[in-house]
A and B are shown apart, each in its own frame.
Chain A
Amino acid sequence: MQHKQTMLKIGLYSSYVFVTLLFLFPLLWVLSLSFKTSQELYNVPPNLFPESLQFDNYKHVIENNNILSFLLNSLQIVSLTVILTLIIVLPAAFALSRYKFKLKGTLLLGIILTQMISAVVISIPLYRLFAEWGLLNNFFMMVIVYVAVVLPFSTWFLKGYFDTIPIELDEAATVDGCNKFQILTRILLPSSMPGIVSVTLLIAVQSWSQFVIPFILLDIQSSYPVSVGIVNLQSTQQAITTHYLAAGSVISILPVIVLFVLLQRFIVGALTTGAVKG
């Protein structure tokens, strides 16, 4: 029995090493490429650790390819999207979780329905509409589209989280003289912090990754977010400049990875408290 347990532990540990390597190696390799010289890219055998750290690669993409301004654009889009979405979604999830009203089930299904439709499918009518109304390259209107895209799942997620907070708390608060607004701000919000942090993180990750929407709605290069900017970089660079492309990729994913690694435990926590019921 003791022997069997030890074998099992060894098996588990080796599978951890394997899985971790499988998922981290591609990222480590790109990091390594981003510090190499162009000759070093073709070394046989390839070396994981660069002979010397070529910070010049980073300097090059920052100076010649506007990477920092793409990054800044992404940050602006993402933070505005998060704020606007939260303003809408907090009361919406509160109402869906705490009130009973006609057609609530239908409304919930309608919300999830919009989630299922591909962004590419929406892109054609959206482009036509925006072109007709002269709204192409309008930063604020584009953020509104982002908000529309992330709203459905945020509403569902947060409604699910609110559902896990006992309604007795609300009742006690009502007895103590709280109105509905105070219940939301003083009872639900503080006790839902993990849920709110996770939904914020999910919105941020999804808007950071968004590609089709900025691609069709923007055509001024200086206002591109990183996702569109990096594709432009890819299509203009030749094979020899892999190290520059790698440096650009590292810069574009670093912020979202740091944020995600720091905060992912909230997502896991929110999911395991049953916020998303089967």
Chain B
Amino acid sequence: MSFTDATLNADDYSYTLDSYKSLFTNPGFIQMLFVTGTFVFFSITLQMLFGFLIALIIDQGEKRNLRGTVFTRTAVLTAWAIPGVIIGIIWQMLYNETDAGIINYLLSLVGIGPIPFLSNPTSALIAVIFSNVWRGTAFSMILIYAGLKTLPADVLESAKIDGANAMQRGMKVILPMLTPMLLINLVIISIDTFNTFDMVMALTGGGPGQSTEVISLSIYNSIFNQFNLGQGAATSVVLLTINVVMTIVYILILGRGEKDAA
């Protein structure tokens, strides 16, 4: 279908390469790839980082029998259970640029702002990334937390006896043992982030201009707003290619993991 000029509202179509030609020569396409790249890169980096930190403080707290660990864990996980479109709507209310916007009010208390969150291209992209990290951190957190829980205690114990300090234990013992888990986590959230669009759609709709139009949203917009099926399908093929490449990476990691276990 990506080789046709089909539209949603006309029945007949012919075969053509025009969809690809116009897609690849369209300056918007390069910009869309750039926006997608920025969105995916920062989303996954921050999700992994925050996920790791939160998993670590909860795990450390549990080892010391602190109170509030389950509550904190549940609070983070709750964000994950909310539908993407509703997360978009909620953050749109928080980023509101009138007096009703709570984030700008909080920032004004510490002397920053007001920031035109959703009407300036750069800050809109940052806002979208931040909300996406808020939503996605839970997944990385729970996987890494499970990884930390299943670390063999005796290895940690013997490293301690051998005189490794907390920093060394973290870098040389815990991190290498978590690596397979972290890699899997990385690939899964990369794929998820490439495929994300419902939250962005509700939050900015891709705007202002096309400054937050990530690839999945671009497909959605070309099909359902511009009714350009050929263009949407061509973009879908690009996304599909990305998905397949990521999956191959995933399978390679998985295969290596199984060999290690055997």
Q: Which residues of A line the B interface, CB within 8 A?
A: 8-9, 12-13, 15-16, 19-20, 22-24, 26-27, 29-30, 33, 41-46, 109, 112-113, 116-121, 123-125, 128, 205, 208-212, 226-227, 230-231, 234, 239, 242, 245-246, 249, 252-253, 256-257, 260-261, 264-265, 267-268, 271-272, 274, 276-278
Contacts and interface: CB of A to CB of B under 8 A. Distances in A.
Nearest to B261: A277
A234 B202 contact: yes
Contact of A272 (B57, B146, B191, B223): B146
A109 B68 contact: no
A25 to B, nearest CB: 9
Interface of B: 1, 54, 57, 60-61, 64, 66, 68-86, 89-91, 93-94, 96, 98-100, 102, 105, 134, 142-143, 145-147, 149-150, 180-181, 183-184, 191, 194-195, 197-198, 201-202, 216, 219-220, 223, 229, 232-233, 236, 239-240, 243-244, 246-247, 250-251, 254, 257
11 contacts: A19-B57, A30-B90, A43-B99, A116-B250, A120-B219, A227-B83, A231-B201, A242-B93, A268-B73, A274-B150, A278-B180
A234 B72 CA distance: 31
B105 A27 contact: no
A13 B201 CA distance: 36
Given A118-B243, A242-B100, A234 B1 contact: no
A33 B202 contact: no
Given A109-B251, A124-B232, A27 B90 contact: yes
A256 B81 contact: yes
Given A19-B72, A20-B75, A46-B100, A26 B91 contact: yes
Given A26-B91, A271-B146, A272-B149, A252 B239 contact: no
